Amino acid sequence: MDTLQTILSAMLREAISPQTAAVAIAAIGLNIHFGFTGLLNIGQSGFMLLGAYGFAISVGHGIPLVVAVLIGFAAALVFALVLGAPTLKLRGDYLAIVTISAAEIIRYVGRSSLLTDFTGAAQGLQGKSYRDPFTNLSFFGSGNLTLSEFNYLDVANGSAGLRVVLWLVALGLITLAVLIARKGWIANRTVRRASIVATVLLFVFLVFFLFPANYQNTGVSGWWVRFVAWVLVGISLLVVFLLVRSPWGRLLRGIREDEDAIRSLGKNVFAIKMQALVIGGLFGALGGMLYVLPSSVQPDSMGRSLTFFCYTALLIGGAATIFGPVLGAVIFYSARIMIKGIANGYVPDSIMNGQQTEQFSFIVVGVALMLIVIFRPQGILGDKRELRFNV
């Protein structure tokens, strides 16, 4: 029982980590590219790496934090223009080829020894060289905080039976929220959305009741960076929500389904695609800046695999949905920790050691992704009608 409790606690910590939020934001940008517009961007990690470099190098050279963030965005903007100008007038697979190649070029340039003074080459940039201006903004103060102070240990001495019951209730709540969203059990839209929000909030409270998390208020990976990361996730969701429900958002869906029809209406399809590529890239750059805040800028940790993680999160949650990328990112990273924890806790070392469980978790997630694409390509929250891509 204690092993299972440890695994579930580790899953919660991973679910709310800054890196999970960063990948969620990058997947939100990818959702604008792939989900809403049908652009096959296989190089989202390139946008993330440019954002991270632009931010970290600027702060490291004494440039104010706000200006450094703008420089990170500017690097992603230029990257999107360079990629989009020669490819967006052609078929979608040209963009895929160019983006994956360009992202790798950025990674190799970043790890080049010729740029050691700027990028740190293969060793990267240490977080202490650029993190302080961000942590100095914290109003959380010093010390530690447990969320929540009132938890399962205060009731029935934290008995195993109580925890099992509450786990089942938590699973039931999140299942209920998904069913309300998909089945349309409540006709009134406002009441339905309020029911979903209330159910999710109750689920979150129950999770923190079962797995109280303790971190520094303002540390390298404390509550401050988590707070900022998830607030930015919320703002990103709001921006995407407003964008896709605007006339411009309807044009994106039209291009995804039949760009010739949109062109016949006199719309500049190339310009709209370019705008989508730029906006999605800016989300990628923001995700890159957040990704390196609690750690360091390592070019090899932001390569092809990171783009694969973003696509995995997007496909699990559901492409062309608002909350799909966030839900997918949380499930993806939590599931990996669960698989690794179970393998470490219950599989003897003679069969699989600790190092092998890391690789095993990726294999299982990869197989799960294949099954999702085969049996439920629209993901958890997606709609099959949203998958008519014109690429």
Contacts of residue 106, Cβ cutoff 8 Å, sequence gap at least 6: 46, 49, 50, 79
Tell me, rounded to whole angstroms, the distance of Cα 348 from its chain centroid: 33
Tell me, rounded to whole angstroms, the distance of Cα 140 from its chain centroid: 25
Tokens of 36: 């809403």
- The DSSP result for 228-271, as a single string, is HHHHHHHHHHHHHHHHHTSHHHHHHHHHHHHHHHHHHTT--HHH
Cα–Cα dist 231/254, whole Å: 31
Cα–Cα dist 373/192, whole Å: 29
Residue 391, pLDDT score: 47
Report angle CA 301, 285, 111 to the nearest 5 degrees: 35
Q: How many CA atoms lie within 13 A of 268 on its CB side?
A: 6
343, 352 in Cβ contact below 8 A? yes
Chain segment 80-131, per-residue pLDDT in tens: 999 988 888 776 678 888 899 999 999 999 988 888 888 888 888 999 999 9
3-state secondary structure of 125: strand
Chain segment 335-380, per-residue pLDDT in tens: 888 888 888 878 887 787 777 887 888 888 788 878 877 888 888 8
310, 34 in Cβ contact below 8 A? no
Strand partners, 216: 144
Residue 388, pLDDT score: 57
Contacts of residue 169, Cβ cutoff 8 Å, sequence gap at least 6: 206
pTM above 0.75, yes or no: yes
Tell me, rounded to whole angstroms, the distance of Cα 362 from its chain centroid: 17
Give pLDDT < 50 ranges for the chain: 390-391
Q: Name the region of 157 (left: φ>0; alpha: ψ -120 to 50; beta: rest).
A: left
Exposure string for 52-81, b = 16+ CB within 10 A, e = fewer? bbbbbbbbbeebebeebbbbbbebbbebbe
Is the N-terminal amide bond of 159 cis, ω within 30° of 0? no
